[in-house]
Amino acid sequence: MTVDVTKTPTEVAEASRTEPRRRRTRGIMADGRPRSVTSIVTMVVLCVLWTLPTVGLLVTSLRDRDAQAETGWWTALWNGGWTFDNYRGVFDSADIGTSLLNSVIVAVPATVIPIMFAAFAAYAFSFMDFRGKDVLFIAIVAVMVVPIQVAFQPLLNLFGPNGLGISGQFIGVWILHTGFGMPLAIYTLRNYMATLPKTVIESAKIDGATHFQTFWRLIVPMSVPVIAAFAILQFLWVWNDLLIAKLFLSTDNATVIVKLQGLLGAQGQGTEFLPAGAFISMVIPMIVFFTLQRFFVRGLTSGAVKG
C-alpha cells in the first residue's frame, strides 16, 4: 500500500469527490469527466485511417475511366473527371440489378428460417429437462468450429444432378446457410434465453399454457434483442458470402458478391465499373447495419458472446 506523495490528503479527497477519471486535464467535458487530448487525437487519426480506404472507393466509383487510371482519387477535387456513368454502366452492361435481387432472395429466408429452427432448440435447452441435454449442447459448441469446407464436396454431390437436383437453385443455398448458421444460432439464442427469469415460465405453466404457446407468446417476444442481433449477423454473413453462393448457385441466380468477384477478375473493358459495383454491393448491408446497430451491439454484448 503505497501512498501517492504528490497528492495531499485534501487533494485526494477532492479528486474522489469530483469524478476523477483522469488527473492531468485540459478542460472538463459536459458530463464532468476531464477531456483527454491524447485520446481525441489518436482516435481521430484512427478514424481517418479506418475510413480513408472506403472513401477512396466511393470517390473512385464516381470518376471516369481515364481519371481512375491516371490520377489518384484524392486529386479528384482539382483534377475532376466526375461522372455517374459507372453506376449506369454497372446496371446496364453488368446487370447488377438482377444480382442484387438474387442477393435479397438468398439472404432473407436464409436469415429467418435458421432463427426459427434455432429458437425452438434454444427453448428446449433453456426451459426443458431431458436426457442427453448436456451432450447435445456440447455438440453444438463443438460443431461451431468445424470449417464449412468439409461440406462442399459431399453436398455438391448430394445436391447435384445425381442427387437431389437442387444445385444452382435458391433452395439449396437456403438449406446450406440454415445448416451452417444453426450451431451459432442455437448457441447464441440459448445463452440469452438462459438469462430469462424462470418464474415467467412457471406462471405460464400454472395458467396451463403448452410449450408451443409459451414459446410464441412469451419467449419469442422476450428474446427480441438477441433475435435481432443474430438476424443482423446472419444477414451480413449470408449477404457477404462468396463461397457458398459461387459453388451452389447457377449464373442466373448469382448474388451480387459473386458478380463483384467476376468484375474483379475482369480485364480491359468494364474495369471502371468495379468500384461502383463494389459500392452497390455494400449499400444494403450498411443500411441494415446502421439502422439496427443498436440491437446488434446490445445483443452481441449481452449474453450473445459471453466474456
Q: Which of residues 255-284 bind other proteins (CB under 8 A)?
A: 257, 260-261, 264, 274-275, 278, 281-282
Q: Would you list the DSSP string of 260-305?
A: HHHHHH--STTGGGHHHHHHHHHHHHHHHHHHHHHHHHHHIIIIIS
What Rg, from alpha-carbon coordinates, does the chain have?
A: 26
Cell of 213: 404457446
242 binds other proteins (CB under 8 A): yes
Shortest reach from residue 64's CB to other proteins, in Å: 13
Coil, helix or strand at residue 36: coil
Q: Which of 8, 14, 18, 51 binds other proteins (CB under 8 A)?
A: 51
- Between residue 160 and residue 179, which ones bind other proteins under the rule CB under 8 A? 166, 168-171, 174-176, 178-179
Can you list the pairs that 168-171 forms with residues at least 24 positions away whose Cβ atoms lie under 8 Å? 168/248, 168/249, 168/250, 168/253, 169/249, 169/250, 169/253, 170/102, 170/105, 170/106, 170/109, 170/249, 170/253
- Between residue 67 and residue 86, which ones bind other proteins under the rule CB under 8 A? 68-75
153 binds other proteins (CB under 8 A): yes
In whole angstroms, give the CA distance from residue 270 to residue 272.
5
Cell of 26: 485540459
Shortest reach from residue 287's CB to other proteins, in Å: 9
CB 209 within 8 A of CB 247: no
Looking at beta carbons only, is 12 or 224 nearer to other proteins? Answer: 12
Looking at beta carbons only, is 39 or 93 nearer to other proteins? Answer: 39
Shortest reach from residue 85's CB to other proteins, in Å: 18
Cell of 31: 458530463
Q: How far is CA 271 from the centre of its chain?
A: 28
Residue 164, H or E segment: none
224 binds other proteins (CB under 8 A): no
Q: Which of 194, 224, 266, 291 binds other proteins (CB under 8 A)?
A: 194
Q: Tell me how many residues contact other proteins (CB under 8 A).
A: 132
Stretch that binds other proteins, among 83-91, 220-228, 254-262 (CB under 8 A): 254-262
- Name 244's bridge partners: none
Shortest reach from residue 205's CB to other proteins, in Å: 3
- Between residue 86 and residue 145, which ones bind other proteins under the rule CB under 8 A? 98, 101-102, 104-105, 108-109, 112-113, 116-118, 120-121, 123-125, 127-130, 133, 136, 138, 140-145
In whole angstroms, give the CA distance from residue 273 to residue 267.
11
